Structure 1
Amino acid sequence: MSDGGRKKGKAVVVGGSIAGVASAHALIRAGWEVVVVEKSIAPPTRSPTGAGLSLDTVSQKIVNSWLRQPHLLQTSTLPLSIDLNEATDGEKNIRWTLARDENLNFIAAHWADLHSLLYDALPPDIFLWGHLYLSFCISNDESNVKVKTKILQTGEIIEIVGDFLIAADGCLSSIRRSFLPEFKLRYSGYCAWRGVLNFSDNEHSEAMIGIREAYPDLGKCLYLNLGYRTHTVLFELLHKKINWIWYVNQPEPELERNSVTTKVSSNMIKEMYEEAEKVWVPEMVKLMKETKEPFINVIYDCDPLEQIVWDNVVLVGDAAHPITPHSSRSTNMAILDAAVLGKCLEKQVAENLHSALGEFQSIRLPVVSKQVLHSRYVGRIKQGLVLSDRNPFDPMIAKPEECQILLQRSVPFLGDAPSILP
């Protein structure tokens, strides 16, 4: 029993990425026991896995509330105070401003750094590393859920029993498929070349000097460069790293190994460089060439789901709302999902679990639905794709009033914290 005689419930979380560790924090804060099932063999501490991300002001406050030493979030990130969208003419080697906001108030982090920060602040015994999720079943009286997993190192299959299941298993969620067997992700029409350049050993190289001159606000600015039917994203990370993304319109590729990240060959990288030279200024091209092991993400989202709770199962993060990256929402939505879920559960004893999950769904579903559709719309604008209510966007001739939607501040509910949060 927890304080005041309230029954302490147990949650099983499937997925140990940001959504999973955030859910663990929120539920522990609410007085719940938590077990996190993750197929990776060990924590990705100090791993180069992943790329750059940004946190808005609400997410920053939530993460700080979970950390024993809140200052660590600021010392592990860089501020992003400027949101700058520019048009780029690679042939003439010129850029000009389309829209600028100097009150962004985001912070930039590497995925692995944020994950380590959150993971290290959790009790060490709640994670089951190297456990492959297999299936789940809900008891006839809906009083518990059994999760079956396989221990990868031994092959042993075990069952974990909890009051409810949190599906934090990403945009390709197999738990979601249990309820929506016909569900399919929607291909956006484009993929993203991505990379993180570590320039700690070549801070004074020709490429870095050129980048600093071409992008003088690196370190505090979210740069978005728009060409004809394409765009890039560029921002600096802590520890002398630069995160870059280049979105390219193309037919949908085949996914490999149930992942939206695809391997690339040396020939593909060479062709990417050649195409970049036709579109982007030389400094950007040099940055791409200096980056080791660039990779490709296939960009998906889905039409907003009508529900994200079924009996004793709740979807969070990308399992609940796959989204394109243009509004910097994926990580922020996952963190807010976790915080709201925790507060809903904190209000209810375990016997009122379904009421708490229903409240969570009613709070989050309208918000995430609008944000998913907004990000889709902005992505199609930036990629010059067909739109139902306007001509395809051309940054070369765009008027200032057309460009305001490109800014992060145009995101619905940005900066709004649900009233259930303190």
Structure 2
Amino acid sequence: MGKKGRAIIVGGSVAGLSCAHALIQAGCDVVVLEKVRRPSGSATGAGLGLDPQSCRFLSHWLGDPNLLVRSTLPLNIDQNQATDSHNRITMPIARDEKFNFRAVYWNDLHGLLYNALPSETVLWGHQFLAFQPAHDKNSVKIQARIVESGNTVEIVGDLLVAADGSMSIIRHLLLPDCKLRYSGYCAWRGVLDFSEAEFSQTMKGIQKAYPDLGNCLYFDITLGSHCVLYELQNKRLNWLWYINQPEPELKGGSLTMSISSEMLKNMHAEAEKVWVPELAEVMKVTADPFINVIYDCDPLPKLQWDNVVLVGDAAHPTSPHGLRSTNMSIVDAGTLGQCIGKYGISNLSTALKEYEKYRLPVVSQQVLHSRKLGRLKQGLDYKGHGRNLHWKDASREDCLGLLQRNMPFFAGAPSPADSEALPLMMT
């Protein structure tokens, strides 16, 4: 039996915890470094859509598929509809009734993954500082700061997995010229908890206006803007509203903006002008909405260097329109685990190169398609085509092009478990 090996994962979000599961099952000792002090959940947690391939990986790691089913709701319908802001009505323009995703709250998914790991796996309150490969490139040394004490510790492993998000420090160290690209718009986001207002006028109204809630991913599109709405488990509604604007100034290394009472008041007033009354009311009664600034990144030239590998948003910052970020992260993790399991840590270079050959072509195409969707729905120029898709002049082909199933590899990305996939991906 070959060397077991030790993997150090930087980042304790969904990508990092998914990698922990995949690498433990591949036979590695695993430690996850996360700068947050405790697993308290994300203060800005929101909804996610999980595709069938991600659900298969998750169910395998969790050991009980019912855990995932109980924490999610079906999204069997993908519906795009145009909003006439003047008359405050919507008109369906494209519908897919075989969508087959699952809706999950970020905090719920993170909790499932964390609780299924050995208790000693995650080192909370450990902020990554730097790494140094050994001269023979057979190991890597990590420096981290213990947030509570300020002390610095060193950890040595065979593999460093960068799961530290869109603003990845490790990616910047490896590719200092790689920059995030502002999309041209930001997103207001919120989750309405209606568990104590299930029979309120707000809920009666939204359920009448959006009758497939609980089974449908709704996209409302109007001139120069679009909105997303779907239901989550435990009586919650997840919504996003994308607004074109100049790039804001960010502080503190976060893609989430703080908001003022005046900004919130203006958002509510604008929503009443743009969206149907039922959707505007949901936005108005949602507690603590927040703003995400939307960035992506041109596809990277590579994903692995010796014994360092990028996964999740560190490997492919993407806009959210194709529901790809979390799904790519989970499939990254599953594919990495399969490659390590196939070759062992003693053949790490071969394993990481195979991971890159599987994942780089897939994620590159998915990032660019998601970018295209966002710019089309926001009425922004995309390769010379700046016409906004609106119900008054959009062709049937234009409308059908908005459906999620047009995403490259929508039916599932190749993996090492698919014996004939790799030659196809390498062409």
Report the RMSD for the aligned CA atoms in angstroms.
Answer: 1.1
Does residue 197 (structure 1) correspond to residue 192 (structure 2)? The answer is: yes
Residue number among 272, 277, 292 corresponding to 1:277 in the alignment: 272
Report the Cα offset of residue 207 of structure 1.
1.0
Tell whether 2:274 aligns with 1:288.
Answer: no
SS in structure 2 of the partner of residue 275 of structure 1:
helix
User: What's 1:28 paired with?
Assistant: 24
1:333-364 CA-to-partner distances (Å, cap 9, x unmatched) read: 00000000001001112221011101101110
Match of 1:160 in 2: 155
Residue 138 of structure 2 is matched in structure 1 by 143
- Per-residue deviation, 1:90: 2.1
What one-letter code is carried by the residue in structure 1 that aligns with 2:295? Y
Distance (Å, rounded) in 2 between the aligned partners of 1:231 and 1:382: 6
Task: Determine the structure 1 residue equivalent to 2:372.
Answer: 377
1:216-236: per-residue Cα shift (whole Å, max 9, x none)? 100000000000010000000
Relative distance call for 1:349 and 1:387 in structure 2 (3 A) is closer
SS at match of 1:154: coil
Percent identity (aligned):
56
Asked whether the 8 Å contact 2:44–2:290 carries over to 1, the reply is no
1:6 equivalent in structure 2: 2
- Contact 1:79 1:108 survives alignment (8 Å): yes
Aligned mates of 1:148, 1:89 — CA distance in 2: 55
Q: 2:59 aligns with which of 64, 70, 79?
A: 64
Q: Within 5 Å, give how 1:243-262 maps onto structure 2.
A: 243-262=238-257
C-alpha contact 2:88 2:274 (8 A) present in aligned 1? no
Match of 1:214 in 2: 209
Give the 3-state SS of the residue equivalent to 1:191 in structure 2. Answer: strand
Give the deviation of 1:393 after TM superposition. Answer: 2.2
Superposed displacement of residue 389, structure 1:
5.0
Partner of 2:405: 409
Q: Does 1:300 align with 2:283?
A: no
1:174-185 correspondence runs (5 A): 174-185=169-180
Deviation at 1:48, TM superposition (A): 5.3
Residue 125 of structure 1 corresponds to 120
Q: Is the 8 A contact 2:362 2:413 kept in 1?
A: no
8 A contact 2:389–2:398 mirrored in 1: no
Amino acid at match of 1:234: L
What is the match of residue 333 of structure 2?
A: 338
CA–CA distance in 2 between the matches of 1:184 and 1:382? 24
Q: How far apart in 2 are the matches of 1:270 and 1:63? A: 40
Partner of 1:229: 224
CA distance in 1, matches of 2:78, 2:3: 47
**Please, which runs of 5 or more residues in structure 2 have no aligned partner?**
419-427
Question: 1: CA distance between counterparts of 2:17 and 2:356?
Answer: 20
| Residues 374 and 411 in structure 1, CA contact (< 8 A), matched pair in contact too | yes
Match of 2:421 in 1: none
Indicate the SS of the match to 1:363: helix
Q: Do residues 15 (structure 1) and 15 (structure 2) align?
A: no
Q: Distance in 1 between matches of 2:327 and 2:412?
A: 12
Match of 1:80 among 75, 78, 91: 75
Mapped partners of 2:354, 2:415: distance in 1? 12
In 1, the alpha carbon distance for the partners of 2:111 and 2:16 equals 12
- The answer to whether the Cα contact below 8 Å between 1:20 and 1:36 also exists between their aligned partners in 2 is yes
Partners of 1:341 and 1:391 lie apart in 2 by 39
Q: Verify the 8 A CA contact 2:376 2:386 in the aligned structure 1.
A: no
In 2, Cα distance between equivalents of 1:277 and 1:52: 23
Number of the residue aligned with 1:95: 90
Q: Find runs of 4+ consecutive structure 1 residues off by over 6 angstroms.
A: none
Question: Would you say the 8 A contact 1:90–1:277 is kept in 2?
Answer: no
Question: How far 1:388 moved relative to its partner?
Answer: 1.8
The CA distance in 2 between the partners of 1:344 and 1:419, in whole Å, is 9
The answer to whether the 8 A contact 1:44-1:116 is kept is no
8 Å CA contact 1:40, 1:131 repeated in 2:
yes
Q: What are the Cα deviations for residues 303-326 of structure 1, in whole angstroms up to 9, with x where unaligned?
A: 000011111110000000000000
Give the letter aligned to residue 30 of structure 2: V
2:425 alignment partner in structure 1: none
Could you tell me how far 1:416 is from its partner in structure 2?
2.1
User: Is the partner of 1:124 in helix, strand or coil?
Assistant: coil
Partner of 2:417: 421
The 1:48/1:78 distance shift into structure 2, 3 A limit, reads: farther
Contact 2:32 2:121 in 1 (8 A): yes
How far residue 258 of structure 1 moved from its aligned partner, in angstroms, is: 0.1
C-alpha distance in 2 between matches for 1:15 and 1:391 = 38
